[in-house]
Structure 1
Amino acid sequence: MATQQADYATLATESMPVVKLYLAIGLIVFAGLMSVGVVMRAAQGASLISLGPDLFYQLMTLHGAGMVGTTGLAALAVNWYFLSRYVRLNPRIFLATLILSLLAVAMIVGAIVIGRFAAAWTFLYPLPANSLGQWSTGAALFFVGGLLVLGVAFLLVYLDMGLAIVRRYGSIARALGLPMLFGREPVDPAHPPTVVVSAVVLIVNVLGIAVGAVVLVMTMLHLVYPALAPDALLMKNLIFFFGHVFVNATIYSGVIAVYEILPLYARRPWGVSRLFLAAWLAVTLMVLAVYPHHLLMDFALPAWMAVMGQVMSYASGIPVLAVTVFGGLLLIYRSGIRWDAASSLLVLGLFGWAAGIVPAVIDGMIRVNLVMHNTLWVPGHFHFYLVLGVLPMVLGFASYLCSNGEQGRTGRLGVSVFAVGGILLSLSFLVSGALSVPRRFAVHDEAWQWLADLGALSGGLVLIGTLMIALPILVRLPRAQLTGAGT
């Protein structure tokens, strides 16, 4: 077993050029898309920046689709790197996924920049086909086709990951730890949390992407044959199932960095227990059932689905708080942990994931949702998850692997700037939502503009902090050995 583990580690190390490529592209694109977000918030404020509505909605589409896709790919790199230390993955497939993803990006960016597509990353039916002359059918087809290619790219690497897990552990159920959870086998504390979480990601995201492929193909057919008009409520259900599952699976992939790296800092193992396995099984089921909380204002939705979405919203945060966040706090309590850029970012990611649940649960309450769902409250909780949750996990992963966390004063200061900016940015959205400022408005009334200016300023802090963290990583990346996490 030790020899086999060493072979996996050697193969993972040999595959690091592909991981470097994922990280480099991800960090550069993150900075660019953050700049787009700052410009949009500044245009909504009282500043001198002015964007026409057409350009604003194009940038909104670019920012949303780009951030979701880039975050997904960066978190996939985290997942792939650590899983490759336990099972035999194929680096060529990992590279092929990146190449297909870049093709998808070219299609999506072309549709937006050249074709002026501006229906947001959610491409809600029938908006792609009803542009009122703002974009062509060809632009809509390129955008939707790009998302479809991106889904195929993810499914390709997931197929390799699933086969590798089955070859090593016998089945996805055994990787998930179900025999240990239900008492058929003794609990093995050495069973890797990475394998458990990877099994969860495979189950939920393969389903999510498959559903996304169905709705994307249906959208494309409607674009080509307008008479073929699917049911609007069905389309919305499929879109939000896909989007919700994909974003949450991205967070789960990112949290693997916490499970793998924090124990090295704390010099304590993150052991698997029945509680751990039960929590992740609950996460698997809940993330597939909670998505109707996005559709609570669609009154044609069956009542039982709205109730399920609300109840699942209340319950979905419990496994996270009970296992990962509480477990992380116990891990570092009185451990003498060394605080540097990497460890600080990983703990910040835990905070963002846990605290980001609160506004999501609030919005999942039907009476609150009635008032606030179509306000900036929703981007608030979304940015809380991504800016303060999964992005610090990815940055912490890159920081540790490329420099063992030691980035000097610039990196450590960058973490503080990033954290302050991320909290202020999320609060600017949440306060706006609480004051009923609508989302997806290119122009804001004068009474709302101070919050938009605060959002632009805090977004700028996030960008500055990201650059302070990322630039030292990018400088070291070509020479990095990327062996720290396994030694």
Structure 2
Amino acid sequence: MNASQPAGALHPANETLTRNERIVFNLYTISALMVFVLMMLLGLTMRMAQSTWIGVLPNVFYQVMTAHGAGMVGTIGLATSAVMWFFLRKYVKLSLSIFLANYVLFMLGAVALLAAVFIGGYAGAWTFLYPLPEHPMGLWSGNAAALFMLGYLLIGVGFLLFYLDAMRAIIRVYSNLGRALGLQWLFSGDIDKSHPKTVVASTMVAITNSIGILAGAIVLVMCIINIYFPSVTLNALLVKNLTYLFGHMFINASIYMGVIAVYELLPRYSGRPYPISRPFLWSWASSLVMVLIVYPHHLMMDYVMPHWMLVMGQIISYCAGLPVFTVTVFGALANIYRSGMRWNMPSRLLVLSMFGWAAGIVPAIIDGTISVNKLMHNTQWVPGHFHFYLLLGVLPMVLALMFHVIGQNAPSRSSDKLSFPLYILGGLIFVLSFLAAGHISTPRRFAVHLPEWLTYDQSGSIGAILLIVAMLVFTLHIIVGLLRSPGHGDSAHATG
């Protein structure tokens, strides 16, 4: 152990999974992969229905849309929490029981969500915005809406337990969360270069997403009470603020958990050190604040919002993504430059993730401008930007860890020569079709499209098919590799 590490810190080079850890990690990984494929198939169903290539009843379309939105965001959170756990456990002692409890609660919540949608008929979108769930006009029952929200609560409780355990473990090693974030080095002092980037990122995520989940729990309980006691009326604007604080925070935390894979794996494959720095610490400290106050950029169409909050949402939209993104991408490119890095599947996925994250931010910032938002927010521009950084940014980070873990125990990689470029090609066609459709003001969340919009829907469907084919190959390789492998990582290309 490095002498500068805090007492109690675990050996950072030890990634060996015990038998029980391997079982739980495989549960996370295999479940996430299978649900990803299922959610992609639901997304393809919607695009093909809008293309008029298949017939889907409007009420079924909105059920599929609700399941796809809630399921995909939840699953990316589940997968990136496995990324955070895999690397954070090297530095602090995490509870495997809590990690398993998060998985069990997630699965129970997922079952509740699917039952509410496909048995109960709930189709109020992932946002469950008041008063829609309570006024379904005969399409679903109050019990179905309540079951959907209960599913969210179960998932939220699991994640909250995971974050609380992470903060407990971090405090035990680093004394307090501020020291774990490196706040003591923001203005002066010699930075401990061995301080793990994983600990900084995990601390930021645990703080911010705990707040987001608590906001979500409050609004979910309020809405469930309103379903069964309609006389208890709610303030619709307050409900919407809490809902979008919760939703915005959850998806951003998923990105920040996923980027831990870049910090940990990139130097393994480049063979170069990737030390911590003062700009890195400043970026994560500032992002901790900004990510909590940027969510009003989702509410710019709500003219009753306090004006200062909308202005803040626009200004912080320009700033919030830049610190962490800039230091991460610049650091990654500097680490790769002239390193002679071997371009195997994990390293290629890591670089793809940087591109997807960078490119996906651009249309998001554009939409965060009030004058543009008035025209673009309720168009397919919005699913274009978030599919961009999820499919081509965050998901490759997760896949990079999975391919790293199976290492040399993966099946034959000959098909990777086709599946990787196919994934990129399909992903780009898919997301650019959304953005192009949004540019001509094609509305989002419409089950039936006008003839003028069908070309974009059809090209998006083709892109989705290519993407799913590649994802199926990835899924097969990873699952076979996990079942073969004790899960010690790709030691052949790790440099410590």
Output aligned runs, 1:421-432, within 5 Å: 421-432=426-437
Would you say 1:382 and 2:386 are equivalent positions? yes
Q: Find the aligned partners of 2:461 and 2:75 in 1 and give their Cα distance.
A: 21
| Shift in alpha-carbon separation, 1:255–1:263, aligned structure 2, 3 A | same
Q: Find the aligned partners of 2:15 and 2:343 in 1 and give their Cα distance.
A: 29
| Shift in alpha-carbon separation, 1:379–1:220, aligned structure 2, 3 A | same
Q: CA deviation at 1:435?
A: 0.4
Structure 1 ranges of 4+ moved more than 6 A: none
Would you say 1:23 and 2:9 are equivalent positions? no
Identify the structure with the greater helix proportion. Answer: 1
Q: Find the aligned partners of 1:359 and 1:290 in 2 and give their Cα distance.
A: 16
Aligned letter for 2:109? A
Query: In 2, are the aligned partners of 1:341 and 1:405 still within 8 Å (CA)?
Result: no
Q: CA deviation at 1:481?
A: 1.9
Would you say 1:210 and 2:214 are equivalent positions? yes
Query: In 2, are the aligned partners of 1:343 and 1:405 still within 8 Å (CA)?
Result: no
Would you say 1:224 and 2:228 are equivalent positions? yes
2:321 aligns with: 317
Query: In 2, are the aligned partners of 1:410 and 1:469 still within 8 Å (CA)?
Result: no
Output aligned runs, 1:59-458, within 5 Å: 59-183=64-188, 185-403=189-407, 408-458=413-463
Output aligned runs, 1:27-38, within 5 Å: 27-38=33-44
Aligned letter for 2:63? Q
2:51 aligns with: 45
Q: Find the aligned partners of 1:281 and 1:387 in 2 and give their Cα distance.
A: 27
| Shift in alpha-carbon separation, 1:286–1:412, aligned structure 2, 3 A | farther
Q: Find the aligned partners of 1:436 and 1:7 in 2 and give their Cα distance.
A: 50
Q: Find the aligned partners of 1:11 and 1:432 in 2 and give their Cα distance.
A: 47
Q: Find the aligned partners of 1:364 and 1:155 in 2 and give their Cα distance.
A: 29
| Shift in alpha-carbon separation, 1:7–1:418, aligned structure 2, 3 A | closer
Q: CA deviation at 1:466?
A: 0.8
Aligned letter for 2:204? V
SS of structure 1 residue aligned to 2:14: helix
| Shift in alpha-carbon separation, 1:83–1:288, aligned structure 2, 3 A | same
Q: Find the aligned partners of 1:311 and 1:4 in 2 and give their Cα distance.
A: 39
Q: Find the aligned partners of 1:10 and 1:36 in 2 and give their Cα distance.
A: 35
Query: In 2, are the aligned partners of 1:428 and 1:455 still within 8 Å (CA)?
Result: yes
SS of structure 2 residue aligned to 1:70: helix
Q: Find the aligned partners of 1:108 and 1:157 in 2 and give their Cα distance.
A: 21
SS of structure 2 residue aligned to 1:5: coil
Query: In 1, are the aligned partners of 2:10 and 2:93 still within 8 Å (CA)?
Result: no
Q: CA deviation at 1:106?
A: 0.8
Q: Find the aligned partners of 1:4 and 1:260 in 2 and give their Cα distance.
A: 17
Q: CA deviation at 1:346?
A: 1.1
Q: Find the aligned partners of 1:482 and 1:432 in 2 and give their Cα distance.
A: 43
2:5 aligns with: none
Q: Find the aligned partners of 1:220 and 1:395 in 2 and give their Cα distance.
A: 37
Aligned letter for 1:410? S
Q: CA deviation at 1:180?
A: 1.4
Give 5+ residue unaligned stretches, structure 2.
3-7
- Taking structure 1 as the reference length, the TM-score comes to 0.97
Aligned letter for 2:196? P
Q: CA deviation at 1:411?
A: 2.2
Q: Find the aligned partners of 1:103 and 1:180 in 2 and give their Cα distance.
A: 42
Give 5+ residue unaligned stretches, structure 1.
none
Q: Find the aligned partners of 1:386 and 1:7 in 2 and give their Cα distance.
A: 29
Q: Work out the percentage of aligned pairs sharing the same amino acid.
A: 50
| Shift in alpha-carbon separation, 1:6–1:188, aligned structure 2, 3 A | closer
Q: CA RMSD in A?
A: 1.6
Q: Find the aligned partners of 1:334 and 1:288 in 2 and give their Cα distance.
A: 38
Q: CA deviation at 1:46?
A: 3.4
What are the superposed Cα offsets for residues 416-459 of structure 1, whole Å, 9 maximum, x if unpaired? 11111111111111111110000100000011011111111101
Q: Find the aligned partners of 1:32 and 1:144 in 2 and give their Cα distance.
A: 21
The count of residues paired between Structure 1 and Structure 2 equals: 485
Q: Find the aligned partners of 2:17 and 2:427 in 1 and give their Cα distance.
A: 33
Aligned letter for 1:32? L
Q: Find the aligned partners of 1:308 and 1:396 in 2 and give their Cα distance.
A: 36
Q: CA deviation at 1:17?
A: 1.7
Query: In 2, are the aligned partners of 1:340 and 1:405 still within 8 Å (CA)?
Result: no
SS of structure 1 residue aligned to 2:415: helix
Would you say 1:9 and 2:8 are equivalent positions? no
What are the superposed Cα offsets for residues 377-422 of structure 1, whole Å, 9 maximum, x if unpaired? 1101110121111111111110111125965221242111111111
| Shift in alpha-carbon separation, 1:405–1:209, aligned structure 2, 3 A | farther
SS of structure 2 residue aligned to 1:307: helix
